[in-house]
Structure 1
Amino acid sequence: MKTIGTVDEALGETRRLLRQAPGLAATQAREILRNDPANADAWRLLALALRTQADDHGAEEAELEAIAASVHDPRLIEAASALVEGRLAIAERQLRPHLKEKPTDVAAIRMMAELAARLGRLPDAENLLRRALELAPAFAPARANLATILYRQNRAAEAIELLDGLLGKDPANPAHQNLKAAALGRIGSYEEALAIYEQVLARVPAQAKLWMSYGHLLKTVGRREDSIAAYRRALSLAPNLGEVWWSLANLKTVRLDDADVAAMEQALEADPLSDEDRLHLHFALGKALEDRGDPARSFAHYASGNRIRREQIPYDPARTADQVRRAAALFTAEFFAARAGQGCAAPDPIFILGMPRAGSTLIEQILASHPAVEGTMELPDIPALAAQSGGRDGHYPESLAGLSADALRTLGEDYLSRTRIQRKTGRSFFIDKLPNNWLHVGLIRLILPNARIIDARRHPLACGFSNYKQHFARGQAFTYDQAELGSYYRDYVRMMAHFDVVQPGRIHRVIHEALLDDVEGEVRRLLAFLDLPFDAACLRFHENDRAVRTASSEQVRRPINREGVDQWKPFDPFLAPLKAALGPVLDAYPEVPTDA
């Protein structure tokens, strides 16, 4: 081996040797590291040389040493600081040129993945993390990050598989256990998730957010008092944690007392207080003051919470209106007639869709009390298939016109495959109650022509106000501005009216107020639409102890009542923007005006 001058020259020679003589390359890399043990480039080259020689253990050790050395790079230090402080543009300006020069720097790749995730580019973050793990399979932090990204993309089963591998090597890691419990809850494995939370809390009982997550799951399975106790324990540890206050208020059947109101008002004065805590406190105070019959003060808090949230998330009402216009242009009677007999013939899915807070959870609970129907939750799979069919590139729904019969059938089969993990019983039918699926009725009718679709509809002001006062954990970006909310409701009515014309009788509408007035009559009509025999258990839906994940979980565990019907009326003076945006849809309800 020839004598090398500078470190850069030595690294260049090592790269040349790597292609021709990996053993000599490893020797050269070790020589560099003897004089410069923090040289990340040399560690990376050593790892590559050892991989070539099938020394996987040695390669893994070198890869991890390279990552540890990389964090001392000035550019990565500045990028990390920018990420911590939320200065994402600065972080990106540091990371891009660094990765152009050093494309195999795993630490930088992981940081770029974090940046992508912060910007909401989850598929990009996933690809970056997979690349990091190709380069350094033993890099556990990247594997944990990938599990989180998969979970955030509603791919809980894949996240659990990764987490099981991580927990096999670090079984007591609370972060991995917490994420696994959340993922198990996402696929309906509630008892296993609860057991994990209890194990972790026994070891680290001072974690307020962990108590909150535990409380969420207890609420889902109907353990109301235990849920309240978990939320209260979280507040004893973190009195200003707004999400816990909102979680208590969001139980709907719980009324926060004077001491709670005073504590929340005091929390709002805390400095510093994050926007997340502030908006949750506003929503919780809105609910507490509404329960006290103080609509003016209540609405002021609801409005404050909505303003903060609206500033955080993007929403363009023109885009929704355009999607409805384009869907109406594409999905004609002739379009469906030309594709008759195509798609997946399975009749299993029952879709309950419409606006959030329109009574869909009640309908689901009624149907899930029938021995032939299994309730699941709001499943993300139809929007995911829409994106897969051209949604991310802006060509959806027009892209559906070019799909072959085989492609349509495959999409339907993919939906059934993706949702199979949610099915825990042998019942013939299952419910997908994601409200936003109304935007994809055309896709559903194409890929699953025998699936049943139920449109859950509620009075526009009752539904609109219920959405406005609800802080959603994710999605539903249209609910934080009254005018946008009214526009969205009107677009939804327009879309469903279109399908009433081009596919008459294929969608069954349940008017919430009619269901409350005549439960048995509406349930009989609903079951007849589904070709199911009447079963009296559907009238005793409140006795069903199944898990319910939505905000209405406590309400559907009680017999039918009209408590929520007129809750919007004390707030009527504050709802002018909503009324104006609803236009003729409001006056015509429950009918649909011709100019909707």
Structure 2
Amino acid sequence: MPLAEARTKGSIDEALTHGRALLNESPLLAARQAREILAVDPANAEALRLLARSLRATGDDDSAERAELDAIAASVHDPELVQAAHALLDNALADAERILRPRLKTNPFDVAAIRMMAELAGRLGRYGDAENLLRRALELAPGFAAARGNLATVLYRQNRAPEAIAELDRLLDADPANPAHRNLKAAALGRVGGFDEAIALYEDVLQRFPDQPKVWMSYGHVLKTVGRQTDSIAAYRRAITIAPGLGEVWWSLANLKTIALDADDIAAMTAALEQTELGAEDRFHLHFALGKALEDQARAEGAFAHYAEGNRLRRAMIDYDPQEISSLVERSRALFTAEFFGTRAGHGSTAADPIFILGMPRAGSTLIEQILASHALVEGTHELPDIGAIALRLGRGDARYPECADAMNAEAFATLGNEYLERTRVNRKTNRPFFIDKMPNNWAHVPLIHLILPNAKIIDARRHPLACCFSNFKQHFARGQGFSYALEDMARYYRDYVKLMAHVDAVLPGRVHRVVHEALVDDTEAEVRRLLAYLGLDFDPGCLRFWETDRPVRTASSEQVRRPISREGLDQWQAFEPWLDLLKNALGPVLDRYPEAPPP
């Protein structure tokens, strides 16, 4: 259908329909049709996509990619995609989906729409779906830099840092000076322990682009991790100077826990909260930081009010169903009996490398890790996500976790154990024979750990429920701890944790070694000797001088474990007791029986 004289939208739409029909029988004719449309309407994204598909069908991949990238650039003028972009910007995800889903059903080759749908999936936490969509976009347009950057981010958020780094290297090869790509690569390097290279990358970016507050903040994070606290504070302060309303950097400063924010800081944060245009994330971060600042000044009532408001705002932003973990615990107790384990004795990988430290967050697991990482035979890594990722995968499709374990044989358990060892290898930087995985949430998967790694050691870090739960309540976690933003959710999560660990103690006596935080503080040497005996390790005096160990620490306790043990944090919750009745009532017998578990 020649278009030399065409001017109406109707005739162009007809020509596009005709061009698509030609694709299968004659890609060359389809390409000619697309070019005729573009001669009349050079910015027609659909014609550019038709040209790209036609050229790819003829084997001219380079020209096809150029056409696809031109189509993406032209899409910024597409009213429908502009509307979807505004919906994403306003976080109106349902509105964005109503636009994008039928569009992609009609035109599954619209790369710009595919990328936007991936962003939507990522916002909902469906990272697997987002990854699949982005890989499809890059299959159609390998040079689509924005989609590759998004893919690196999605991989990073799935804790697949090595893969994220590989994608970022491809971006940096094409655009070496791009600060966003370098910043993301530095964050990914930090995730897998490449701290020196990460610091060098941040410093390079900041030398070129010194007015980037979030880069200064990220730089501060990695400096904190490697123990350069003074430099970390300076980086955070520089970010605040550039962006006084950046709530996350205020929280990062407060979260060092070994410094106190002063009256000027409190005034600056209070002023920032009064800004009507302040975003929700900045707002809740500021409330958490103000809570910490006021707590340090012994102003408990004001501190609790800010902690409560920060938690309220954060809880409203997340989709957390406490019944999911309760259901997992009940189904695990029903499935994993002594008989179940007895018939599967000897299954799994024979490796004895891993030492799991698990339990509630803020229960002293970082202290235990630092003590053990001071032993000549033990390497500290960090909170590894791999057990959770394996469990999540086992429950996909028609399978249900943990019930799927009932149908698994010895080879399947061994395969999973070896997979875990392979996945975690990137985090090991020494040749020490043992390494620590201190992901606290692994308590929910202790039966799986036993089945796939029967020779691994498991340590349960337990702390007084009021001290532990309130410490979680005043801690803002970047992600992954949805239970921690409401006192009722917190108490239920703690009860579920105690219930499952008590069940494991009953069906696998002696399998798990428990470290009670208060006992460790009161008689450190006795508890350390008991712990090392469980691990089958000789006593190492370095374990009693753990604060002298020079290693990166990423958790909220990073600065605290670089000092000798103190009783300072044991009773901090007591100043807030007047506001903790809800927590006490929800904990019930778990509080009364601590450190033992209530009877079934």
Give the 3-state SS of the residue equivalent to 2:238 in structure 1. helix
Q: Corresponding residue for 2:420?
A: 415
C-alpha separation in 2, matches of 1:57 and 1:33: 19
2:239 partner amino acid: A
Task: Give, in whole Å, the separation in 1 of the partners of 2:249 and 2:512.
Answer: 39
Structure 2 counterpart of 1:522, which letter? E
The residue correspondences of 1:63-462 to structure 2 (distance < 5 A) are: 63-390=68-395, 395-462=400-467
Shift of 1:12: 3.7
Q: What is the letter of the counterpart of residue 528 of structure 1?
A: A
State the match for 1:520 in structure 2.
525
Question: Unaligned regions of 5+ residues in structure 2, if any?
Answer: none
**Aligned residue number for residue 574 of structure 1:** 579
* Contact 1:487-1:581 within 8 A present in 2 as well: yes
User: What are the Cα deviations for residues 46-105 of structure 1, in whole angstroms up to 9, with x where unaligned?
Assistant: 222222332222111111112222332221121112111222221111112211211111
Q: Does the 8 Å contact 2:23/2:54 carry over to 1? A: yes
Give the alignment partner of residue 472 of structure 1, picking from 474, 477, 488: 477
Q: Distance in 2 between matches of 1:373 and 1:40?
A: 58
CA distance in 2, matches of 1:31, 1:451: 67
SS of the residue corresponding to residue 455 of structure 1 reads: strand
Q: CA–CA distance in 1 between the matches of 2:359 and 2:513?
A: 11
Deviation for aligned residue 1:124: 1.0
Superposed CA deviations along residues 220-272 of structure 1, whole A, max 9, x for unmatched, are 00000000000110110111111111111110100111111111111111222
Contact 1:454-1:508 within 8 A present in 2 as well? yes
Rounded to whole Å, the distance in 2 between the matches of 1:39 and 1:323 is 52
**71-80 or 459-468, which moves further after superposition?**
71-80
User: In structure 2, the residue corresponding to 1:396 is in which secondary structure?
Assistant: coil
Q: Do the aligned residues in 2 keep the contact of 1:391 with 1:397 (CA within 8 Å)?
A: no
The alpha-carbon distance between structure 1 residues 258 and 335, as it changes in their structure 2 partners (threshold 3 A), is: same
Q: Following the alignment from structure 2 to structure 1, what is the Cα–Cα distance between the partners of residues 591 and 3?
A: 85
C-alpha distance in 1 between matches for 2:585 and 2:398: 33
TM-score (norm 1): 0.97
- Quote how far apart the aligned CAs of 1:40 are: 2.0
Aligned-partner Cα distance in 1 for 2:454–2:21 = 60
2:34 and 2:48 in contact (8 A); partners too: yes
- Give the equivalent residue in structure 2 for 1:559: 564
Q: Distance in 1 between matches of 2:75 and 2:348?
A: 51
- Judge which range, 489-498 or 14-23, deviates more: 14-23
Displacement over 4 Å in runs of 4+: 1-5, 391-394
Structure 2 distance, partners of 1:201, 1:2, is: 55
The alignment partner of 2:572 has SS state of: coil
Q: Which runs of 5+ in 1 are unaligned?
A: none
Q: CA deviation at 1:382?
A: 0.6
2:12 to 7, 10, 27: 7
C-alpha spacing 1:78/1:2, structure 2 compared with 1 (3 Å): closer
Q: Which moved more, 1:398-407 or 1:523-532?
A: 398-407
The amino acid of 2:218's aligned partner reads S
Output the aligned Cα RMSD: 1.6
For the 8 Å contact 1:483–1:580, the answer to whether it is kept is no
In the alignment, is the contact (CA less than 8 A) between 1:33 and 1:43 conserved in 2? yes
Code of the residue aligned with 1:175 in structure 2: it is A
Deviations 1:503-549 (CA, angstroms, capped at 9, x unpaired)? 00110000111111111111111111111111111111100010000
- 3-state DSSP of counterpart to 1:430: strand
User: Which amino acid in 2 is paired with 1:207?
Assistant: Q
| Aligned match of 1:481 | 486
Distance 1:480 1:522 in 2: 32
Residues 70, 105 of structure 1: 8 Å contact kept: no
Given residue 335 of structure 1, which amino acid in structure 2 is its aligned partner?
F
Indicate the residue corresponding to 2:498 in structure 1.
Answer: 493
Q: Following the alignment from structure 2 to structure 1, what is the Cα–Cα distance between the partners of residues 372 and 582?
A: 36
Pairwise CA distance, 1:28: 2.6
Counterpart of 1:550 (choices 555, 570, 576) is 555
> What is the deviation of 1:26?
2.3
* Distance (Å, rounded) in 2 between the aligned partners of 1:509 and 1:14: 70
Q: In the TM superposition, what whole-angstrom CA distance separates every residue of 1:535-578 from its partner, at most 9, and x where no partner exists?
A: 11111110001000001000100111111011111111111111
CA distance in 1, matches of 2:308, 2:85: 36
Q: Deviations over 1:199-231 (max 9, x none)?
A: 000111111111111111111000000000001
Give 1:539's aligned residue: 544
Deviates more, 1:456-465 or 1:394-403: 394-403
Query: Secondary structure of the equivalent of 1:454?
Result: strand
Secondary structure, aligned partner of 1:568: helix
**Cα distance between partner residues in 1 of 2:453 and 2:140:** 41
Q: Deviations over 1:316-349 (max 9, x none)?
A: 2222222111110001010011111111111111
Q: Matched residues in 2 for 1:317 and 1:55: separation?
A: 53
Matched AA of 1:227 = S
Tell me the number of residue pairs that the alignment of Structure 1 and Structure 2 aligns.
595
Q: Residues 3 and 37 of structure 2 are in contact (CA less than 8 Å); yes or no, is this contact kept in structure 1?
A: no
Q: How far is 1:17 from its partner?
A: 3.5
